[in-house]
Structure 1
Amino acid sequence: MTIKTQLPELPADAESNLPGPRTADIGDILRPLIAQFDADLNYTGAEPGDDLEGVLRGMHEQALKIGIPYPEGTHSWYSFNVGVYYAHLCYPSHPLDVRIYTGIYTWLAVLVDDGACKDPKQWQNFMIRFQTGLSQMTPLAQAWADYLRLSYEHYAPIVANFIITSSLNFTNANALEGLELPRMSRTRGGENWPYYLRDKDGVSEAYVWMTFPKALYPDISLYMEAIPDMNKYISFTNDILSFYKEEMAGERGNYMHNRAFYERKDVYTVFREVIREDVAAHRRVEVVLRGREPYTRAWREHAMGFVAMHKAMNRYRLWELGLGERYTDSFGRMTSTRQR
């Protein structure tokens, strides 16, 4: 006798059939929710590092060695600036060489994310070549492989291993999204799929482990219990602070909409639930790290800096809600401290 394991497909309208808000109303719905999210986190802004010029100079030197151009106004230039913001706002107490490393890592990760959408087969093949020790086929792929291995210079072996495995999952998940996701038919049994995909394709875990370079934070046992909730915090905070610009653009392939589809809920109900879950995860991290300086401060800097990065970057459009922050002067040059 054959046991049938295939579950019925969900109808296309499985997400709530309630009409969505008009574009003009989206901000009115999300503004108070995001403001309350800030309050619940006790958000006080970032504590930027004190050597922005050193980060910029070091990242520029590394970019020249890598050989990937980033002329102003291009996608590469934008991606480079994401790296600067991450290193500057999220890891302010890290040694300069580690901040430069995390900035370049971020620049490359954004380029890989974009490249995997355009050519997923190349990044499927990246995995094969990385695992078998072969040279990569493009300068970007080779730089990505090199920077994953470079993590051992700045992080303890176990930590670097997790940074690499998270980065490889990110690369593979992006290839999966391009190659296989368009062919998938959703069923009633896939309710855990949205978080699985979100966890793999967002590289949050790598950034969590990067909070603790070996030169400053050698005792992994003091923070490893909090890693799952740190990972959830980084993933969900990005989802929350990206949601306004995605709603305004009419995007439906994100975690919020995927979860709403499977749970048969209105997406704004899911948004509220994700905020509650995110704040709860952050609180649990605080419990684990209580009294464990300097690890407590390292996480606080990362957690608050990550919010600040979203508020500071035009990409997320939070200025339209009155929730943006500025880290540039009147000439558009990046500054070490918040201007508002």
Structure 2
Amino acid sequence: MGQSQTSLSNGTTRDAIPFPPVTEIDKTFYAECYTGAAKRGWPPETINKYLPGGVVMGSTGYSHLSNRSTRILIAIYTACGIYLDDVFKKDVEVVSLFNQRFFEHAPQGDPVLDCFAQVLLELGSHFERVVSNIMVTSTLNAVSALTLEASTQGMTMSPSALGYPTFSRVMSGASEAYALFIFPCDLALPGFVQTLQQVMIFINNGNDILSFYKEDLDGESVNRISFLAAQSGRSKQAVLAELVEEAIKAYTNVLAILAPKPEALAAFRAFAAGYIGFHATATRYRLDELKL
């Protein structure tokens, strides 16, 4: 997917990422991910329900990574995250115990969550130590965010709690992990670490923007756009437009930071296009209904 240029009102141009077509699932890669998930204890009867989303992520956002085993791990990680979000709606207790059981190396009481714990333990063999540590803590925060969500259902949003919607959104998205997955493990940390916060904005805003259609149709209100709208008294559409501008600015900032580092820049460009491709392809977002 190539880059294009969009003209702005002031006459300047900026990079634009064309909305991509739906990506067909790579059957060979799917089979490899299936085998990897099964080896880590994921029961065969539920793999096919959750693995496709993970495989799409590994095939789009991270297709630029040359280490296939790392891409497989990212795919399984993503599938486990999708499963976790699903099981949370049925069993908050097992999710709330995940972090404690992980620290204690105790069984999770759920074979898929055991698989997820194993994936977290393997991150250190694929990424540099600081990077893998951040990935693990980011993931554990995302698990905590699900329990936080359950504990704050129906909470009235104070107009003065200005940072809370974004704070809870950053916790829930594991965006540090997904940002750091972008860069090949042989790239030195100083070559990309300064982009982390801006890439996180691009990832979190991007997901909020591209999942808004599905969430709005489903009547979901426990999300950042709804929180920000309720807090500010603005419409959801106005908040959505603001998040779009923030995402564009973050994307542009990352390009500027990485301009002197061609390999890291190419990795981010590939991810950015693929990340949008993930949302276009994953049926849970229903973007095909919009005929974009």
State TM-score, norm by structure 1: 0.76
1:189 corresponds to: 160
Residues 57 and 75 in structure 2, CA contact (< 8 A), matched pair in contact too? yes
One-letter amino acid of the counterpart of residue 64, structure 2: S
Q: Show the counterpart of 2:180.
A: 209
Matched, 1:127 2:104: no
Among residues 183, 191, 213, which one is paired with 1:244 in the alignment? 213
2:36 alignment counterpart: 62
Match of 1:101 in 2: 73
8 Å contact kept, 1:256–1:267: yes
Q: Are residue 92 (structure 1) and residue 68 (structure 2) matched?
A: no
After TM superposition, the structure 1 = structure 2 runs for residues 39-78 of structure 1, keeping only pairs within 5 Å, are 42-44=16-18, 52-69=26-43, 76-78=47-49
- What SS is found at the alignment partner of 2:112? helix
Which one of the candidate residues 120, 143, 148 is aligned to 1:148?
Answer: 120
CA contact (8 A) 1:47 1:89 kept: no
Equivalent-residue separation in structure 1 for 2:247 and 2:129 (angstroms)? 29
What's the RMSD between the two structures over aligned residues? Answer: 2.4
How far 1:203 sits from its partner (Å)? 1.3
Structure 1: any 5+ residue segments left out of the alignment?
Answer: 1-35, 324-340
The aligned counterpart of 2:5 is none
The one-letter code of the counterpart of 2:39 is K
How far apart are 1:208 and its partner, in Å? Answer: 0.6
- CA offset digits 1:148-182 (Å, max 9, x no partner): 0100111001100011000000011112212x112
Q: Which amino acid aligns with 2:176?
A: E
Deviation at 1:197, TM superposition (A): 0.8
Task: Give how far 1:315 is off.
Answer: 2.1
Paired position in structure 2 for 1:311: 280
1:8-27 alignment, distance < 5 Å: none
Aligned residues of 2:157 and 2:227 also touching (Cα < 8 A): no
Which residue identity is paired with 1:57? Answer: A
Aligned-partner residue type, residue 69 of structure 2: D
Deviation string 1:121-152 (CA, Å, 9 cap, x unpaired) is 21221211212333322212211111101001
Alignment partner, residue 261 of structure 1: 230
SS at match of 2:48: helix
Which digits, 9 at most, give the CA deviation of each residue in 1:27-71, with x for residues without a partner?
A: xxxxxxxxx9xx96511466999x934422211111222333455
Identity of aligned residues (%): 27
Give 2:195's match in structure 1, choosing from 217, 221, 226.
226
What is the distance in 2 between the residues matched to 1:317 and 1:187? 32
| Equivalences, count | 279
Which of residues 195, 200, 218 is equivalent to 2:171?
A: 200
Structure 1: distance between partners of 2:289 and 2:107: 45
CA contact (8 A) 2:43 2:111 kept: no
Cα deviation code 1:227-268 (max 9, x no counterpart): 001001011011111111222222222211111111111111
Residues 303 and 290 (structure 1 numbering): CA distance in 2 closer, same or farther, change over 3 Å?
same
Q: 1:41 to 1:110 in 2, by over 3 A?
A: farther
TM-score scaled by length of structure 2: 0.88
Distance between the aligned counterparts of 1:105 and 1:158, measured in 2?
A: 19
